[in-house]
Amino acid sequence: MTRSLRIAPARCLRGELTVPGDKSISHRAAILGAIAQGETTLRGFLRGEDCLRTLEAVRSLGVGVRETPSGEIRVPGKGIEQLSEPENILDLGNSGTGFRLLAGLVAGRPFLSILTGDASLRRRPMGRIVEPLRQMGARIEGRQGGQHAPLAIRGGDLRGIMYRSPVASAQVKSALLLAGLSADGETWVEEPALSRDHTERMLEGFGVKLRRDGLRVGLLGGQTLTGREVEIPGDFSSSAFFLVGALVLPGSDLVIRQVGVNPTRTGLLDVLLAMGARIAQQNLRGSAGESVADLTVTAGPLHGTTVEGDLIPRLIDEFPVLCVAALFAEGETVIRGAEELRVKEADRIAAMAAGIRALGGEVEELPDGIRIQGRAGPLRGGKLESFGDHRVAMALAIAALAAAGETDVEGAEWIATSFPGFEETLQRVAVR
Residues that are catalytic: 317
Question: Should residue 316 be labelled a site residue for ligand S3P when binding is judged by CB under 6 A?
Answer: yes
Helix pair 236-248, 319-327: axis angle to 10 deg: 10
Q: Does 29 bind ligand S3P (CB under 6 A)?
A: no
| Residue type at position 298 | T
Order across the sheet with 37-43: list the strands.
Answer: 66-67, 73-78, 37-43, 229-231
Cβ contact 35:105 at 8 Å: yes
Is residue 359 helix, strand or coil?
coil
Q: How far is the CB of 278 from ligand S3P (least distance, A)?
A: 27
Question: What's the CA gap between 119 and 142, in Å, rounded?
Answer: 15
> Min. distance of Cβ 69 from ligand S3P in angstroms?
29
24 sits near ligand S3P (criterion: CB under 6 A): yes
Nearer to ligand S3P, 109 or 173 (CB): 173
Q: Which is nearest to 388 in space by CA: 148, 139, 122, 170?
A: 122
Report the distance separating Cα 69 and Cα 71, nearest Å: 5
Query: Which CB atom, from 296 or from 418, has the smaller least distance to ligand S3P?
Result: 418
- Between CA 223 and CA 230, with CA 229 as vertex, the angle to 5 degrees is 95
- How near is the Cβ of 429 to ligand S3P at its closest, in Å? 24
Site string for ligand S3P, 92-111 (x = CB under 6 A): ----xx--------------
Q: How far is the CB of 339 from ligand S3P (least distance, A)?
A: 11
Q: Site residues for ligand S3P, window 141-170 (CB under 6 A)?
A: 169-170
Q: Which is nearer to ligand S3P, 92 or 316 (CB)?
A: 316
Min CB(169)–ligand S3P separation in Å = 3
Indicate whether 323 belongs to the interface with ligand S3P (CB under 6 A): no
Positions 364 through 383 that interact with ligand S3P (CB under 6 A)? none
Provide the 8-state DSSP code for 121: H
Q: Which is nearer to ligand S3P, 24 or 407 (CB)?
A: 24
Least spacing, CB of residue 209 vs ligand S3P, in Å: 21
One-letter amino acid for residue 160 of the chain: G
Query: Quick check: 317 binds ligand S3P (CB under 6 A)?
Result: yes
**Taking CB under 6 A as the rule, does residue 49 contact ligand S3P?**
no
Which is nearer to ligand S3P, 128 or 400 (by Cβ)? Answer: 128
Is 51 a binding residue for ligand S3P by CB under 6 A? The answer is no
Whichever of 304 and 388 has its CB closer to ligand S3P, that residue is 388
* Residue 115 sits in the site that holds ligand S3P (CB under 6 A): no
Using alpha carbons only, how large is the chain's radius of gyration in Å? Answer: 21
262 is a contact residue toward ligand S3P (CB under 6 A): no
Our CB check for ligand S3P shows the closer of 12 and 311 to be 311
Nearest in space to 396 (alpha carbons), one of 408, 404, 388: 408
CB 297 within 8 A of CB 325: no
> What's the rounded Cα separation, in Å, for the pair 402 and 245?
9
Around Cβ 213, how many Cβ atoms within 10 Å?
9
* Spatial distance between the Cα atoms of 308 and 293, rounded to a whole number of angstroms: 26
> Binding to ligand S3P by residue 120, rule CB under 6 A?
no
| DSSP conformation letters of 27-39 | HHHHHHHHHSEEE
- Verify binding: residue 200, ligand S3P, rule CB under 6 A: no
User: Which residues bind to ligand S3P, rule: CB under 6 A?
Assistant: 24, 96-97, 169-171, 174, 195-196, 316-317, 340
